[in-house]
Amino acid sequence: MDDMAWISSTMLHMTEATGDDTYFNMAKKIYDTHMVTQGKEDEKGWALPWKTTSPADKDTRYICTNAPACVVACKLYMKTKEPKYLEDAQKLYDFITANLMLPDGRVEEPPLTYTQGTFAEAARLLYHITEQRSYLKKAETAVVYTISSSRCVDKGLLRNEGSLDADDGLIFKAVFIPYAVNLVLDESTSYRTREEVRNFLLHNAKTLWFEHMNRDLWPEMYCGPYWGNTYSVKSDEKNGTAYMCAHASGASLLENVTRMLSTR
């Protein structure tokens, strides 16, 4: 189910980039037909499952599905103005904050950058739809936790979230970074948070680009899993190749920090 949320989100981004509603219509169809129909409501609230292969899977209502689904519901509402999408987004948000988010800003345990970021973006979008400041405060809390907690940060840089056995986690930072930049560029965000997040991201980008990446040399031309180390085949390779996921996260950092600096 989480993959359907990510696919729908990608389709929405493609419409935003191209103006072609073909992608939007597909995202809407996926959400209406295959996602929202799987929701479960009980005393904890209404949310979507992670898996749907068995009746018991209805209880797998994790952040990895519900945060990106909330983003999708927000964007569907913003384009269609159909109340049902806003209602879904608010119910998903309420479920997350009531059951998955801790007071310090952790969104589920363990805190992962991509889920922290998708929740923050969902809350930010809900603020702009409803003008309720509480949503934006939650977005700020989630992002500030991510850039300040030792659970997410290693020596001032976002930590390595992958391993040689399971490298999917290496792409998590690629998701967090653009949403964190959105918060920085949002003039509704408090000045203190904007500066704190901006300076943190800029430090990460400078460390990677100027100290641990060389576009003229192999293998130093690749981004490693941790931006405080130069990519090394000996320490970071898997079957003789660099991690595409790690490189995607590094590219996301550099591209989005450039966006952040060029639009301020």
Contact of 197 with 146, CB cutoff 8 Å: no
Q: Could you give the percent of the chain with pLDDT greater than 90?
A: 81
Residue 59 has pLDDT above 90, yes or no: no
Q: What is the pLDDT of residues 224-241, one digit of tens each?
A: 899 999 987 665 555 556
Q: For position 232, what pLDDT does the model report?
A: 77
Q: Output the CA–CA distances (angstroms, integers) from residue 190 to 126, 166, 186, 187, 195, in the order listed.
A: 16, 37, 9, 8, 9
Q: For position 235, what pLDDT does the model report?
A: 54
Rounded to a whole number of angstroms, the distance between the first and last alpha carbons of the chain is: 37
Q: Which sign does the torsion angle of CA 28, 32, 34, 36 carry?
A: positive
Q: For position 166, what pLDDT does the model report?
A: 59
Backbone angles phi, psi at 29, to 5 degrees: -65, -45
Nearest to 144 by CA among 110, 103, 205, 84: 103
Nearest to 254 by CA among 195, 187, 184, 207: 207
As a whole number of angstroms, the distance between CA 187 and CA 123 comes to 15
As a whole number of angstroms, the distance between CA 165 and CA 65 comes to 23
Q: For position 263, what pLDDT does the model report?
A: 82
> 10 Å Cβ neighbour count for 262?
7
The residues pairing with 157 across neighbouring beta strands, listed in sequence order, are 154
As a whole number of angstroms, the distance between CA 178 and CA 168 comes to 18
Q: For position 1, what pLDDT does the model report?
A: 84
Question: What is the chain's length?
Answer: 264
**Between 205 and 215, the higher pLDDT residue:** 205
Q: What is the 3-state secondary structure (H, E, C) of 105-158?
A: CCECCCCCHHHHHHHHHHHHHHHHHHCCHHHHHHHHHHHHHHHHCCCCEECCEE
The encoded tokens of residue 235 equal: 């320490």
Q: Are strands 40-42 and 157-158 parallel, antiparallel or unpaired?
A: unpaired
Q: For position 221, what pLDDT does the model report?
A: 85
Q: For position 168, what pLDDT does the model report?
A: 83
Q: What is the pLDDT of residues 129-152, one digit of tens each?
A: 999 999 999 999 999 999 999 999
Q: For position 54, what pLDDT does the model report?
A: 77
The encoded tokens of residue 111 equal: 């805190």
Q: Which sign does the torsion angle of CA 27, 188, 104, 181 carry?
A: positive
Q: For position 216, what pLDDT does the model report?
A: 86
